[in-house]
Amino acid sequence: MNNSGGRFLGELDKVSDVIYRPILEKGLKKLCASKAGDSQILEIGSGIGSITTTLLKYGHVSATDINPDYVDHLNSRFSNKTNFKSYVWDASKEDVEKTGSFDLLVSFNVLEHLADDDKALENWGKLIKDNGSMIILTPNYKWLFSSLDKAVSHFRRYSKKNLTTKVKNAGFEIIDVYYGNAFGILGWILNGLILKRTDLPSGQLKMYAFCKKLLWIFEKIVEKFCGLSVIVVAKKI
């Protein structure tokens, strides 16, 4: 891993149970997913496995990433899991060999990195079995696009409306759309739009996770109206 990318993923991994696990499990609940199931799950853009740990409770996970170093890390981290495998894959490319192989596709913070997101969604849909499902998380609000987005090679940010439209056009029925990480909006405004930073200061994610724990009830209310992330839960039709 490169130093900056590895540091950020390492810090994010330490607080993923607070930041991302509740968001993911909300989507899984919408799909009525049961733990210790036999579902075939494809995780796109697994990084170092921050949400993989949660997915492993729900089925057999195929974790993918474009970065071979991350895949090596995944294979080492989950070497004791019999329901896990990982391989290098460019999510912008079609994977004909695995057409119709998965019951569930999960992608957190990947779609915004792909130049042709519509084509990617079309290709991803082909990997899902008939009546299979998808949970996608992307950065929310186009007006928040900043130096931070540019630094991590984001092509765009999304909105509820345009992400929903793109998922529908790829052949899916929307089950739910919701926001996540509402308080993160303030940090993105400060670091990206005001201070023009290209990296989040060390320890800031830990501070954010601490605030979420203290104010989780209030944030849950706020997330009915806004959030740094937008999540779509959908079923293939």
Instruction: Judge whether 74 lies within some domain.
Output: yes
What would the pLDDT profile of 165-175 be if each residue is shown by its tens digit? 999 999 999 99
Instruction: Retrieve residue 70's tokens.
Output: 């991350």
Query: Confidence class of residue 202 from pLDDT cuts 50, 70 and 90?
Result: confident
* pLDDT on residue 140: 98
- Whether residue 187 is contained in a domain is answered as no
Residue 66 scores a pLDDT above 60: yes
For residue 169, being part of any structural domain is answered with yes
Residue 219 lies in a domain: no
pLDDT for position 4: 53
Q: What average pLDDT is seen over the chain?
A: 95
Burial of 85 (0-12, 13-18, 19+ CB in 10 A): middle
The total number of structural domains in the chain stands at 1
pLDDT tops 50 at residue 58: yes
Binned at pLDDT 50, 70 and 90, residue 18 comes out as very high
Which whole number is the average pLDDT over 1-21? 80
Residue 230: which domain range? 3-142+155-182+226-236
**Mean pLDDT calculated for residue range 80-100:** 97
What is the pLDDT, as a whole number, of residue 36?
77
Task: Answer whether residue 198 is part of any domain.
Answer: no
Do the domain assignments include residue 76? Answer: yes
CB 51 within 8 A of CB 20: yes
pLDDT score recorded for residue 1: 43
Is the pLDDT reported for residue 6 higher than 90?
no
pLDDT of residue 5: 59
| Mean pLDDT of the region 224-228 | 98
% of the chain exceeding 70 in pLDDT = 97
In our burial notation (b when 16+ CB lie closer than 10 A, e otherwise), range 43-56 reads bbbbbbbbbbbbbb
Return the CATH number at 67. Answer: 3.40.50.150
Residue with more model confidence, 161 or 202: 161
pTM: 0.95
Residue 112 in this model has a pLDDT that exceeds 50:
yes
The verdict on residue 193 lying in a domain is: no
Round to whole Å and give the CA distance between 189 and 149.
Answer: 12
Q: Is 38 contained in some domain? A: yes
